[in-house]
Amino acid sequence: MRENIIFTDLAKELQAKAREIADKHVRPGAKKYDDLQEYNWEAARAVAEAGLFRTFIPKEYGGHGAGILALAMVTEELAKADSGFGVAFAVNALGSFPIILGGTEEQKQRWLPSVARGEKLVAFCLSEKFAGSDASGLAVTAEEDGDHYVIRGEKKWTTNGGVADIYSVFCVTDPTSKSRRISAIVVEKGTPGFTVKKVEDKMGIRCVPVVETHFDNVRVPKANLIGGKPGMGFKHAMMTLDLARPGVAAQAVGAAQGALDLALVYANRRQQFGAPISSFQMVQKMLADMAMKTEAARWLVYACAGAVDQGAAEKVSKYAAMAKCFATDVAMEVATEAVQVFGGYGFMEDYPIAKFFRDAKILQIYEGTNQVQRMVIARHLIREANELEHLAAYIPNEVQNTYRDGALITHSRKSEPAQR
C-alpha cells in the first residue's frame, strides 16, 4: 500500500485549514458542547466557509474531488481537537457516499452541490435495533405505491439525526429476494411522517446527535431511489462503508494524537518527588509506546486512503478493515494510557482527557465492530492463501490444507513404507 500515498498540494492546504479551524472554533468549545450535548454550529459554519465540506464531493458537483486521503487528513485534524466534532464532520461523507457511488446524474446534481457548500448536512440510516453488524437483516420496508415508495419502520443510532437535511435510508424493497432485498432511498428533512424520536444520551461524542429516526408511512418519490434501480442497497452500503472506514480510522488517529499531546504537556508540568513525571522512566515508556502506536496507525490509515484514491478496488475492503480496526484500538489504548498519566486528575471531568477516553470507545464499535473487522481481514487472508501455495513444500505435516478460490481442500500424504 505504501507506494499509493500521494500528498497533493490541495490535500495539504485543506489539512492546514482544518487545523486552523480546530484551534479557533473546535477545541475552545469542546467541553461546552460535550456538557450541553449540543451541536457545534459555529465550527460547522467555519468548516463550510473554508470549503472543507467540498473535500469529499466530486468536482463536477461543486466539490474539490480531493479524495479519501485528503478527507482522512482533514478529519484527523478536527478529531484531534474534539473527537465528537470529527465525527460530526465525517458523517456527512458517510451519508453522501451512497449518492456519489450509486446515484443517478440527476440525483447527484440535485443533492451534492448543496452538501459541498455546507448548506445541507447528511446522515446515514442503516442500523436498526435488531440489525447492527448484520446489515442484511433490515426490517424497515419501502413498498411501491404508484410513483412513490411508502417507508415504514424505525432506524437506530442515526448519527447527525435531527441536524441533517438529507438522509440515505436503507430499506427492504423485495423481502422475497436474497441478493436484491435492500434498496437505498433519500428522505429529506420535513417529509411528512419522518420524525426524530429518541435522542440518545451517550457516553461520548456528545456534541453530535445520535437518534432514532421513525418512518410512519413516509411517501417518497421514486426519483429518490438511489441509482433509480431497486435492489442495489446492500451493495451501495458495503461500498460506502469501505470508503468511510478510513475516515473513522482518521478520527481515531486524531483522537489518539489529541490525547497524547495532552499527556505530554501534563507530564512535563506535573511535579512529583521534586521532578516532572516526564523524567520517570515508567512514564517515558508509556509516552513512547503511545507515540509509536499513534504514528503506526496514522501511516496505515494514510496508506489505506491512498490505495482507495489510486483505485486498488480489490484490496479496499481488507485495507479499510485493517485501518479501522488497528487505529481505533490504538485510540482506545492511547486514551486509556493518557488517563493513567494524568493519574487521579484524569478521572475528573474538569480535565479534558476524560472526554478523550469517553469518545474513543465508540470508535471500536460503530461502522463495524472491531471483532467484525477482524473477521473481514481474516477472510481476505484466507482467500489470498492461494498466492502462498508454493510455501506448502516447506510444511512437513502429515496433512496439508490448501485453499483454492476460497474453498478448503485437504490433501493427505501416503505414509512411506518403513525401510528394512
Catalytic residues: 367
Instruction: State the DSSP code for 8.
Output: -
Q: Is 173 helix (H, G, I), strand (E, B) or coil?
A: coil
How far is 394 from 399, CA to CA, in rounded Å? 13
Sequence letter at residue 336? T
How far is 243 from 247, CA to CA, in rounded Å? 8
Q: Is 3 helix (H, G, I), strand (E, B) or coil?
A: helix
Q: Which element (helix H / strand E) includes 16?
A: helix 9-21
Helix segments in 82-224, DSSP class H: 83-102, 105-116
Bridging pattern class, strands 210-221 and 194-199: antiparallel
Q: Report the greatest alpha carbon distance in the chain.
A: 89
Helix segments in 198-232, DSSP class H: none
Cβ distance 274 to 350 under 8 Å? no
C-alpha cell of residue 302: 494514510
Cβ distance 30 to 355 under 8 Å? yes
β-bridge mates for residue 143, sequence order: 150
Smallest CA-to-CA distance from 356 within 27, 43, 44 is with 27
Sequence letter at residue 379? R
Per this entry, what is the length of the chain?
420
Instruction: State the DSSP code for 7.
Output: -
Sequence letter at residue 198? K
Report how far apart the first and last C-alpha atoms of the chain are (Å, whole number): 55
C-alpha cell of residue 417: 513404507
Q: Which element (helix H / strand E) includes 307?
A: helix 281-309
How far is 14 from 21, CA to CA, in rounded Å? 11
Q: Is 155 helix (H, G, I), strand (E, B) or coil?
A: strand
